[in-house]
């Protein structure tokens, strides 16, 4: 029987996958570095890929918050992007009318 021997992850390859994923390196490039296919990468390194992805997301969110803390056009764009993606805000959808939500303005007796 020919073919490649089964891939056996070790601490070095696990750390490498997490670091490359955390640097937003695409999966095909990670596969090339490890000389494995994408199916093998996802099978053996799912946790490391997820952690790397979380690291990228945290870095991007941190930079977005840093930009949003400014007081220029870039800050305004960052704030709008954050509101749209994180909180579902849209400049095209009217806000719900809260005056008809059954809230009485009369003081309770």
Three-state secondary structure readout of the chain:
CCCCCCCCCCHHHHHHHHHHHHCCCCHHHHHHHHCCCHHHHHHHHHHHHHHHHHHHHHHHHHHHHHHHCCCCHHHHHHHHHHHHHHHCCCCCCCCCCCCCCCCCCCCCC
| Position with higher pLDDT, 100 vs 35 | 35
> Is residue 87's pLDDT more than 90?
no
Q: What is the pTM of this model?
A: 0.69
């Amino acid at each position: 029987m020919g073919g490649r021997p089964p891939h056996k992850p070790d601490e070095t390859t696990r750390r490498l996958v997490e670091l490359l994923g955390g640097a937003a390196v695409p999966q095909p490039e990670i596969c090339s570095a490890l000389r494995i296919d994408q199916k093998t990468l996802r099978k053996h390194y799912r946790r490391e890929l997820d952690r790397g992805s979380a690291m990228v997301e945290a870095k991007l969110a941190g930079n977005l918050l840093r930009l949003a803390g400014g007081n220029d056009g870039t800050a305004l764009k960052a704030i709008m992007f954050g509101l749209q993606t994180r909180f579902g805000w849209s400049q095209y959808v009217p806000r719900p009318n809260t005056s008809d939500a059954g809230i009485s303005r009369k003081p309770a007796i």
